[in-house]
Amino acid sequence: MSEMATARVLITGRVQGVGFRYFVTSTAEKFPIKGYVRNLETGSVEIEVEGEKTKVHQFVTAVRSGPRNAQVSDFQLEWKPYENKYEDFSVKF
């Protein structure tokens, strides 16, 4: 079995109101990963994903710059222990 991993990503900049959550969700569909994306009150976007470590890494790389109208000023990545706590990928409100 492949190594499993969980990653938490915090993205700041012009990342709300530019389709960032839609971009992240459509990117997640390309990889067999689970987790969520949500806007935070601070104006940042938070993503937590879990799955095969290689796929999680590829996903994180793919969402790093965001959609065309976004301007990412900071991208924080934290690797966490795998917990298998998500059934799918969703947008949290």
Per-residue pLDDT tens over the stretch 12-63: 999 999 999 999 999 999 998 999 999 999 999 999 999 999 999 999 999 9
Residue pair 87/34 in contact by the 8 Å Cβ criterion: yes
Is there a domain that residue 88 lies in? no
Calpha distance 31→88 (Å, rounded): 11
Look at residue 32 in the predicted model and tell me its pLDDT. 87
Calpha distance 72→65 (Å, rounded): 6
Catalytic residue numbers, as ranges: 21, 39
Is there a domain that residue 92 lies in? no
Which pTM value belongs to this model? 0.95
pLDDT band at residue 2, thresholds of 50, 70 and 90?
confident
Residue pair 85/50 in contact by the 8 Å Cβ criterion: yes
Please give the structure tokens belonging to residue 32: 């067999």
Q: Residue 43 maps to which CATH number?
A: 3.30.70.100
Domain boundaries, position 16 = 4-83
1 has a pLDDT exceeding 80: no
How many domains does the chain divide into?
A: 1
Is there a domain that residue 33 lies in? yes
Is there a domain that residue 89 lies in? no
Tens-place pLDDT, residues 65-84: 999 999 999 999 999 999 99
64 has a pLDDT exceeding 70: yes
| Pairwise pLDDT comparison (67 vs 2), residue with the higher score | 67
